[in-house]
Amino acid sequence: MVAATVVGLVSAQALVAQESFRIADLSAEADRLEASYGRLRLEVAELSAPDRIVDAARKAGLVLPEEVEMLRLFAVGRGPQPSAAATDSVLALKGVLGGER
């Protein structure tokens, strides 16, 4: 009876010690993963930074348009009515968008 109790206590102690080491290992692993997550997050942020995107685009041969043409769309009854030229622009835009007839 005494021997069984002693064996039981020793076994329990060994199990507790084993779990303790496992917890320490998991904690270290969690630290490693956290560091890795931080590194990856920083990498994503740096890669998506506007100056890097612009540099990459430039290297790829992309350029900003010299002029941006604004197409003005007027709603009926609000503001000046569209001129013939403006109407053409609206129709052209509709054609591009493949929208309403």
Partner 1 sequence: MSHRAESRPPALRLAALFLVFAIGFAAVAARLFVLQLRDAPSYMALGRDQRVRHIVLPATRGSIYDRDGNDLAISLPAKGVYANPELVPNASETASAIAPILDVSSAELWQKLQHDGSFVYLARRVAPEVAEQIDRLRLPGIGLLDESRRQYPSGGLASHVVGFVGLDGVGLAGLELQYERILAGRAGELVVEKDPAGHLIPQGESRNVRAVPGADLVLTIDRDLQYRAARALARAVKKNKARGGSVIVMDPATGEILAMTTYPSFDANLATEAPADALRNRAITDVYEPGSVNKVITASVALEKGIVDPREIFRVPDHRRVGPKVFHDAHPHRPMRMTLADIVAFSSNVGAIQVAQRVGKDRLNAYLKRFGFGRRTGIGFPGEGEGILPPTDEWWETGIGTIPIGQGIAVTPLQIAAVYATIANGGMWVRPRLVRGVIDGEGTFQPAPPPDRRRVVSASTARTITSMLSYAVEAGTGAEAQIPGYWVAGKTGTARKPLEDARGYSDQYVASFVGFAPASAPRLVVAAILDEPETVYGSIAAAPLFQEVTRFALTQQHVPSAHPLPPPPSAQRP
Determine, following the binding rule CB under 8 A, whether residue 51 of this chain makes contact with partner 1: yes
Amino acid at 56: A
Interacting span for partner 1 (CB under 8 A) from 3-11, 49-57, 92-100: 49-57
> According to CB under 8 A, which residues from 2 to 41 bind partner 1?
13, 16-17, 19-21, 23-24, 31-32, 34-35, 38-39, 41
CA distance 100 to 73: 14
Q: Is 86 helix (H, G, I), strand (E, B) or coil?
A: helix
What the block records as the tokens of 66 is 């010299």
| Count of residues that bind partner 1 according to CB under 8 A | 34
| Tally of CB atoms within 10 A around 60 | 7
Q: Based on CB atoms, which residue is closest to partner 1, 1 or 90?
A: 90
